[in-house]
Amino acid sequence: MISITAIIKSKQEKIEEVKNLIQNLVLQTRKEEACIRYDLHTTENVFIIWEEWKDQAGLDIHNNQPYLQDFIKQSESFASAPIQVYKTVQIL
């Protein structure tokens, strides 16, 4: 299993727009066969996506989905910092 944490920091004036875009991303991603978990958390203007994937092949498919690529492209206009993505391994 592969775990990913993605952190998206929205510009203050774009919070609602970003929330809507991310919610759509979550709904689309949860339909993917290799997706085990794709949970959205937020605090103020920070959105955190906690992901779990069956395998690298499934994650590769996800990373090439048009809705994810569109989201990444749009992030240039609404993010206050580059999206941070961490591929992690559970230790406990």
78 φ/ψ sector (left φ>0, alpha ψ -120 to 50, else beta) = alpha
pLDDT for 90 beyond 90: no
Share of the chain above pLDDT 70, in %: 100
Is this model's pTM higher than 0.85 or not?
yes
DSSP-assigned beta bridge partners for residue 88: 3
Q: Give whole-number Cα distances, 91 to 40, 44, 88, in Å.
A: 22, 29, 9
Alpha helices in the chain (DSSP H): 15-29, 56-63, 66-78
Nearest-angstrom CA–CA distance, 60 and 57: 5
For residues 35 and 58, is the Cβ–Cβ distance under 8 A?
yes
Residue 89 confidence (pLDDT): 87
Share the mean pLDDT of the chain: 96
- Residue-wise pLDDT for 30-56, tens only, equals 999 999 999 999 999 999 999 999 999
The 10 Å Cβ neighbour count of residue 87 is: 12
pLDDT for 22 beyond 90: yes
